[in-house]
Chains A and B, each alone.
Chain A
Amino acid sequence: MREGSGALLEVKNLEAFYGRTKALHGVSFSMTAGGITTILGANGAGKTTTLRAISRMIRTAGSIVFDGQPLEPRATEDVVRLGIAHAPEGRGTFVHLTVEENLRLGAWGRRERGRLEEDFERVFGYFPALAARRRQHAGTLSGGEQQMLAVARALMLRPRLLLLDEPSLGLAPMVVREIFRILRTVNKDAGVTILLVEQNAALALDLADHVFLLETGRVVMEGPSEVLRKDDAIRRAYLGY
């Protein structure tokens, strides 16, 4: 645990803008180190925007503090250097490059550039399907493989915080279960803190220990996932039973 509040990431009164349109209206939350937090919400609630704000990809107001350091004055590429990896919406695959080159790039922002082989072994251990396609162009991978690659690429940074945007989107249930199983392992074994944005609420509630519910750019509910899972409103709106 860190000094002070013990929060690894502390977001206060976060507002975010696309041009003149305000997409977040004062979002506040904090995350402890080592946990898995998920942001639930409908389309357009501001889930992706929250991740983009943390990675400094859009204009914001309010404060974002990571491990005692304010993120607002930093550029995206400098946020990465603090150990925040972001597997973005749409997976962000470098389709012209090989699987191995994609992974090499994932390690670009970290301090020690050496010993990449160790990391290759680790992520190929998580995702054996990628090992078989190491020299293949990433654009030829299936959707599921590209999502695995996105997670693997993010892990190459040896991140302290992993931001995941809809890793289940458009994938077969079996593939999704596999990816989520690995996320749990990554969190447990490597101690990577995870902030997960997900539309599949059932999956997300299973994985996460803490949940935020976003509606039109505001946090409307938060708590431990066991509690929120039992909440009637959440159950009806997001779990569908």
Chain B
Amino acid sequence: MDIFIQQVVSGLATGGIYAALALALVMIYQATDVVNFAQGEMAMFATYICWTMLNAGVPYWGAFLATLAIAFVGGIVIERVVIRPVEHAPILSIVIVTLGLLVICNSLAGWIWTYVQKPFPTPFPSKPFKAGDVVLGAHDVGEIGITLLVLFCIYAFFRFTPLGLAMRAAAHNPVSSRLVGIRVGWMLALGWGLAAVFGAVAGMMVAPVLTLEPNLMGGVQIYAFAGATLGGFTSPGGAVLGGFIVGVVENLVGTYVSFIGTELKFTVALAMIIIVLLVKPTGIFGTTVVKRV
């Protein structure tokens, strides 16, 4: 039982990372119908920026916050410079652009920081928590806390601020949004900025576990896809929940199904994607979107 609880908690910890990245994917998907395949690589790049600052002696939380700010601006710049010119192109073209972005981010990181794995610090104490007989890693618990904090902030932002309302409006109904004076293009750019922030959080939280290298987020992105598919690409809350579920399932299956172990864990995510697409293609909380052509 103790092992079970420990595995669930550590599943929730990694699940939180998937949830953050899944939310980033869903936010951009909802606003633009495009899946940003470069989301994970942008997050990895942000994590390297944080690493560089830490190496230069910046205290952890200072570097953390600075990285979020840089990621935010970076996300906006990428939308304005790379995505905007192909805004009205067919979806496939935009998807190809994001794939190009993926390759560029990856190679650029390798070129600047090399492919050698780098240790990345955790801001949380190394001493594990003890709750009764259950031993919980401090990084796991901290990670869950940070993820929940970020999710709460973003929920409050979208729910209670005028700007959040305008962004929701722009994502759902761009034509009417323009007619009330919302600058829809900028709302999309802000969406990219926020998505990059979630990605950066995910990257900085996962890097202490996986160690930092240019391919840091490749696997995470697949799991995030699984989470978003499971919860529904049309439901931000669903994507978050999906991320957590994928994290827990991945961990439990790896622990209790002996032939899967750590090597085949990845297959679990892919199997989940396929099963969801077969059984309920919209995901648990997704809705069918009817498009007038």
Binding site for B on A (CB under 8 A): 55, 57, 75-78, 80-81, 86, 88, 92-97, 101, 104-106, 108-110, 113, 153, 157
Contact = CB atoms under 8 A, between A and B. Distances in A.
Contacts of B178: 57, 75-77, 80
B165 A76 contact: no
A92 B173 contact: yes
A104 B168 contact: no
A94 B181 contact: no
Top 6 A-B pairs, shortest CB-CB distance:
A109-B181, A80-B181, A92-B176, A76-B178, A77-B181, A105-B180
Contacts of A86: 179
A21 B128 CA distance: 70
A80 B180 contact: yes
Contacts of A110: 181
Given A55-B179, A76-B179, A94 B173 contact: yes
A109 B168 CA distance: 16
Interface in B118-173: 162, 165-166, 168-169, 172-173
A105 B180 CA distance: 6
B183 interface: yes
Contacts of B165: 97, 101, 104-105
Given A77-B181, A81-B181, A108 B166 contact: yes
B172 A94 contact: yes
A113 B162 contact: yes
A153 B162 CA distance: 15
Contact of B180 (A78, A95, A108, A113): A108
Contact of A153 (B166, B172, B180, B182): B180
A89 B172 CA distance: 17
Given A96-B168, A97-B169, A113-B162, A105 B182 contact: yes
Contact of B162 (A55, A88, A104): A104
Given A93-B176, A108-B162, A108-B166, 7 more contacts: A57-B178, A92-B173, A92-B179, A94-B169, A108-B180, A157-B180, A157-B181
A96 B183 CA distance: 19
B168 A97 contact: yes
Nearest to A163: B179
B183 A105 contact: no
A34 to B, nearest CB: 23
B251 to A, nearest CB: 35
Contacts of A94: 169, 172-173, 176
A93 B182 CA distance: 15
Nearest to B179: A86
Contacts of B181: 77-78, 80-81, 108-110, 157
Given A92-B173, A113-B162, A80 B179 contact: yes
